[in-house]
Amino acid sequence: MSYPMYFPPAPFDLNAAIRAGSLVDTAYDMYAQWQAQHKPRPEAFVWKPNSDLDLQFSASLWGEDRRLLLLASREPFAFVAWSAAGEVFLVFRGSESAEDWAVNVSAEQVDYALAPGYGRAHDGFYRVYSSMSAAVLAAVADGCARAGGAPALTVAGHSLGSALSTLAVPDLLAHLPMPLAATRISHYNLASPRTGDADFAAAYDANGVPTYRVVNAFDLVPAARAGPAYGCVHPRGAA
């Protein structure tokens, strides 16, 4: 099945994409610090954000695969950052542990239950993101309030983190405690794997969030099927 060409409603911003990539590096460094501290529990983890950008940072946002216990422990996957200029960022890292790769191959589809009308999503990605949903919403709401209440919100991620960021967007649209019109959301995802079925892709395309899927043409992950029987697709808005 082929889709018509999608053009986001706002132009691609190279500087925004570069900032997103820089913050993804910060998310990976967050995991490296957790690993260097021998993977402590969330309450014992001391994270010092490593970023040259003039931002304030939330605490780490943690995810886990609760149903199959694929993750040996909760892992720090994301954070929220904000500036005095009214910018807010929600950023997710990609796969680092063997447990993360086990999540990647759990490719059956399940209902996306965090917002109505979004069809089905990759089982492993959805289980990790849904374990984080409440913490993500609370951290984004707090960051938006600290940035002035009507900020520009950029959602970003890399690889597995791009799948998580894609699943976060409908959740944010449905549950942020502020009018969508007052929150300018954009989504820059890097090397995203296929995340949802055709219904998810169609609903995502219709939600109005400018989304840019940045890929290396020689990277196998963005092009790979989620599974021979399931065929998850990425939103056209992320193409």
CB 45 within 8 A of CB 37: yes
Q: What is the pTM of this model?
A: 0.87
Q: Which of 23, 7, 6 is nearest to 153 (CA)?
A: 23
Residue of higher predicted confidence among 2 and 203: 203
pLDDT at 192 over 70: yes
pLDDT in tens, 53-74: 999 999 999 998 766 555 556 8
pLDDT at 52 over 60: yes
**Average of per-residue pLDDT across 206-216:** 86
Residue 141, amino acid: A
What is the phi/psi pair of residue 25, to 5°?
A: -60, -40
Domains identified in the chain and CATH numbers: 14-36+54-238 (3.40.50.1820)
In this prediction, residue 176 carries a pLDDT of 87
Tokens of 4: 């018509």
- The structure tokens 């059956």 sit at 108
Write down the mean pLDDT value for the chain.
84
Band of residue 6 on the pLDDT scale cut at 50, 70, 90: low
Choice among 71-80, 148-157, 202-211 with the minimum mean pLDDT:
71-80
Residue of higher predicted confidence among 223 and 49: 49
Using CA atoms, how far apart are residues 159 and 217, in angstroms rounded to an integer?
14
In this prediction, residue 38 carries a pLDDT of 95
**Average of per-residue pLDDT across 192-200:** 91
In this prediction, residue 98 carries a pLDDT of 66
pLDDT in tens, 111-157: 999 999 999 999 889 999 999 999 999 999 999 989 987 789 999 99
CB 78 within 8 A of CB 164: yes
- For residue 151, how many C-alpha atoms fall within 13 Å in the half-sphere facing its CB? 25
pLDDT at 239 over 70: no
Using CA atoms, how far apart are residues 164 and 231, in angstroms rounded to an integer?
18
In this prediction, residue 65 carries a pLDDT of 77
What residues are paired with 62 via a beta bridge? 76
**Average of per-residue pLDDT across 210-233:** 57
